[in-house]
Amino acid sequence: MSVPLPVLEQAIRSGLEQDRAARPLSLVQDGSALHLRRAEPSDAREIHELLEQFVAVGQLLPRTLEQIYRTIRDFVVAVEDGRIVGCAALRIYSADTAEVGALAVMPAKQGTGIGRRLVEALVHDAELLRLRRVFALTLQQEFFGRIGFAVGSIADFPEKVAADCAGCARRAACREITVVRTLVSDA
């Protein structure tokens, strides 16, 4: 007896989601517990406020609160003492490619490993989803280099260019560097 395809697909998705949902991590840092977890709709305002700190100094492109609500499932947050101290999002562009974006860590917490943990959690998600590569557009090339990303070319990501870069007000003067991490070899 064969299992109907929709039932099989649902079972696979369910198992994958359970594996992804089981990923909340905790670590003790400076005497306080830091937890990584998936963002929830109730986190949107706090995520927006955190991102706005970096928009104000030109390090991130602006996102409206409504955009954050619409993409809340893409976000992972770092929570310490009940407060969001970092966030990042994984945006899928194709069957094999995703982008790490909206990476922000409170200035007082930078350099403590939170950004690294957030990116590693998203890379783990990408691996579970069987994606082949993850990229980011960044002004922090050294940070991404330390966690396995190499400099790449935005031209290798036409989906990103079409979806976001083509209409970006900063396109002509873009300073961001494309970094890429290959997850699965082509062999």
User: Could you state, in order of their start, the residue ranges of all structural domains in the chain?
Assistant: 5-182
> Which of 8, 14, 16, 9 is CA-nearest to residue 124?
16
Could you tell me the pLDDT band of residue 162, with boundaries at 50, 70 and 90? low
Taking alpha carbons only, the member of 95, 96, 93, 94 closest to residue 185 is 96
Cα separation, 55 vs 49, whole angstroms: 10
Q: How confident is the model at residue 78 (pLDDT cuts 50, 70, 90)?
A: very high
Class of CATH domain 5-182? alpha beta
- pTM for the model stands at 0.80
Residue 142: pLDDT over 80: yes
Q: What are the strands of the beta sheet with 25-29, ordered from one edge?
A: 25-29, 32-38, 75-80, 83-92, 97-105, 133-138, 177-182, 150-151
* Predicted local distance difference test score (pLDDT) of residue 168: 66
- Per-residue pLDDT band for 5 (boundaries 50, 70, 90) equals very low
DSSP structure class, residue 149: -
Residue range 98-136, pLDDT digits in tens: 999 999 999 999 999 999 999 999 999 999 999 999 999
Give me the phi and psi of 61, to 5 degrees please.
Answer: -80, 145
**Confidence (pLDDT) at 147:** 95
Within 10 Å of residue 26's Cβ, how many Cβ atoms? Answer: 11
Structure-token pair, residue 159? 């989906």
Residue 65 tokens read as 């609160």
pLDDT (mean) for 35-40? 94
CA distance 60 to 138: 9
| pLDDT of 120 | 95
Report how far residue 29's alpha carbon sits from residue 34's, in angstroms, rounded to the nearest whole number. Answer: 7
User: pLDDT grade, residue 171 (50/70/90)?
Assistant: low
Q: pLDDT category, 169, cuts 50, 70, 90?
A: low
